[in-house]
Structure 1
Amino acid sequence: MSLVSTILNGLLSFMTSNEITTGSITASTEERKLLAARSRWWNSTGNGSHDSAKVAQKGNIKAGDGGKKFRAEWPDEDAENWKWMKENNIDTATGQRLNAAGAPCGPQIVGAMGGSGSQVQGVVDAVVQQREAGRGWMSRHKLLVAGGVIFVYVLIARLLGDGI
């Protein structure tokens, strides 16, 4: 039991601390709440692979245990998670909140709220675009071109003479 409490204390520290450590994420309070809520869905449904998810959809794994191990270990917590998912209108196959029409709000809507993850991705995209700007095919493949030139030179030299 002490192993479980150690793991749970570490998880609590990870979810509430803003200290950067190996394997940690930088996230706003809203993003941390979203991830914590999503872990309730993940534990109880096995990432959407539970028995009532008949249709394979994007976002659910095909070889999950359906949350059976979690249900066996913590039946009270599992029942509370299912109640929470029903009250908050969570799609059990994808873990996304359903809108009034019954369609899931995709991750692109959640990411568009402007969290640190989308900011970081925007910076990465800008750096890649800047690095690739003004570069043609020849400059990106200069080693391939150099190797081809050497190969053609050696081939012509062998055909015309005794060799190099």
Structure 2
Amino acid sequence: MATPAATKRLTKEYASISRHPPPYIIAHPSESNILEWHYILTGPPETPYEGGQYWGTLIFPPDYPFAPPAIRMHTPSGRFQPSTRLCLSISDFHPKSFNPAWEVSTILNGLLSFMTGEEMTTGSVRASEQERRLFAKRSRWWNSTGGGSKSPSSNTQYHNSKGIGAIKAGDGGAKFRVEWPELDEENEKWMKEKRINLANGMPLARSDARCAPDVAGLRRRPGSSATSVVHEGRVARDVGQSWLSRNKWRILLGTLFTYILVARMLGDGAASGTT
């Protein structure tokens, strides 16, 4: 249970961060426990996390601000192990280095700065830039579905089996839905618009591709034979061609035959005239 001093301090900080949220950061305390805060970091531009939606928790000790919070990020990012306590100078791993003057916004700015760097610590992981960009693209899906275990808007109840501050992958997005109902609704609309596969977070392959108009006549109709398809191909190929261009070889052969016939007739006439 929070001390009166911690409650007063965190209430003041919530009012401050709500009025003036830092860039790429939003946060609020849980309605049921002022010591449990939920944050969203939006991946900054020109980083592998660009556009990603990264959800995590800060669990403050009852004597805050004289001791730092436990920091976790639940959304897979390729930078941190999901739902794992992070060893940072601003976290509960280093209580002696924590400055009571630091606020929630200071802590989250520090987390965002560390995230976009490459320094390793307890709870961090290595991944390629391509992998981190893929995590960013799937982040909204992961938050609202719990990693594909349930569909959005399901009535799954959240049961925390790992202790306060930990989110079990596979909860169907229930905890995220409780803490971020507006964002969850936006995510659901986004997934429908982008035709996201709820099983893996990737766009569904389109199967309704239409033939181009110039080859539409070549499609095989149900029950048609190979001969009819060939015939339709010839018809489509001949459309727009003139009679002359279609019959030029016949005209050429006919002209040649006529020339030979006339030449032979003239030759026979000249021969008979000399006899």
Confirm or deny a common fold (TM above 0.5): no
Name which one, 1 or 2, has greater alpha-carbon Rg.
Answer: 2
Higher RCO structure, 1 or 2 (CA under 8 Å, sep 6+): 1
Give 1 or 2: higher helix fraction: 1
